[in-house]
Amino acid sequence: HLGHSFPTRRSSDLEADIAEVVQTGKWIGDCFVYTNGANRLNYLVGGQTHTITHFDSYVPSTCFGSSRN
């Protein structure tokens, strides 16, 4: 199973399933911002995933700082 389930920051309840490989990610408020295996920067809010941009190459985890949620 390539998808990931991410709990909310406030509880142990699952917020959503992401049916792709998450490379890096971070909660920013109520929004989960992440990169995937296809070099896309996406965000998840309200159970919906949206693509922000596509990258030509690998995006290093330093885009999100040192913490990985």
**Distant-in-sequence, close-in-space partners of 57: CB < 8 Å, separation ≥ 6:** 39
Distance in angstroms (rounded) separating the CA atoms of residues 23 and 46: 21
pLDDT tens digits, residue range 15-53? 677 888 888 888 888 889 999 888 899 999 888 899 999
Length of the chain: 69
pTM of the shown model: 0.66
- The pLDDT of residue 6 is 56
